[in-house]
Amino acid sequence: MREILFRGYSKDEEKWVYGCLTLNYTIIDKCGNEWQVEPSSIGQYTGYRDIDGNKIFEGDVLYLDGSYFTIEDMRIMSGDKAVKATIAAHNYKVD
């Protein structure tokens, strides 16, 4: 079974936070800490990891075989190829 995990960017903390997502764009971690996150930064864990072992979330920009693509593009690729990708950037621009 795939781990259900969300990620979002907290402007207040200026960092990415991970945990459960609530209806009002708040992420709550395992310790009960709560952060308001930018709605456009929210992504769910895909169940895949890159070659360095980092979790890949929806919206991440990946690098594979000389090309950049988003996780949405990866859905048409084989699982074997996806594992060989590396995360190039989180697809969210901080103003």
Tokens read off for 76: 């048409």
Q: How far apart are CA 61 and CA 50, in angstroms?
A: 11
Q: What is the pLDDT of residues 62-79, one digit of tens each?
A: 887 787 777 664 444 444
Q: Per-residue pLDDT averaged across 79-93, rounded?
A: 53
The mean pLDDT value of the chain amounts to 79
Nearest Cα neighbor of 4 from 53, 45, 57, 51 is 45
Number of domains observed in the structure of the chain: 1
**Domain limits at 49?**
6-90
Q: Tell whether 75 is covered by a domain.
A: yes
Identify the pLDDT of residue 77. 47
Q: Tell whether 1 is covered by a domain.
A: no
